[in-house]
Structure 1
Amino acid sequence: MFNSRRIKAEDSWQGSIVDKSRNMPDGSNMYHYIHVELSDGHTKKFRIDKELWAALEIGDALVKHPGDPNPKKQ
């Protein structure tokens, strides 16, 4: 079984970006990730779309509310 890194609509969290990365594991699709330090101190890696990835910078504060498809800058 694998661990999905996609953000789910029902997720709710807040934190700040500590790293950004891109990966092409299958050789044909580029995946964009952010590493977020959550308010509880844990760090999680989330897969996001290219446009959002390009708009975010390390240190940006994010909040993800239930029902929203993507996190938003605070």
Structure 2
Amino acid sequence: MRADGRAWSGTVVKKSRGLLDGANLYRRLEVRLDDGEELEVRVPRGVWDEVRVGDRLVKPAGGSARRG
């Protein structure tokens, strides 16, 4: 599922990164939302470096995911 522009909050269950196109490093987090749904989101390096599995993330509508 894609995050789109909606607001959500949940817990990080997995961190991953990879050179999917051979040139750009993509950082992704798998997040289990409060309602049990799982979501995979791309995040910038700062967020990826800051969070650990088990941390809470929040994303306001139209904003960026951040630790919360």
Q: Above 0.5 in TM-score?
A: yes
Work out whether 1:71 is the aligned partner of 2:57. no
2:57 maps to what in 1? 62
Superposed displacement of residue 26, structure 1: 1.3
CA distance in 2: counterparts of 1:65 and 1:20, whole angstroms: 21
Superposed displacement of residue 49, structure 1: 0.8
Q: Percent of aligned positions with the same letter in both sequences?
A: 34
RMSD of equivalent CA atoms: 1.6
Note the alpha carbon deviations across 1:5-46, whole angstroms, 9 max, x for none.
5x54x3200100000000111111100000000011011100
1:22-37 alignment, distance < 5 Å: 22-37=17-32
* Structure 2 letter corresponding to 1:73: R
Across the two proteins, how many residue pairs are aligned to each other?
Answer: 68
CA distance in 2: counterparts of 1:51 and 1:65, whole angstroms: 18
The structure having more radius of gyration, on CA atoms, is: 1
Q: For structure 2, which runs of at least 5 residues remain unmatched after alignment?
A: none
Q: For structure 1, which runs of at least 5 residues remain unmatched after alignment?
A: none
* Structure 1 letter corresponding to 2:13: V
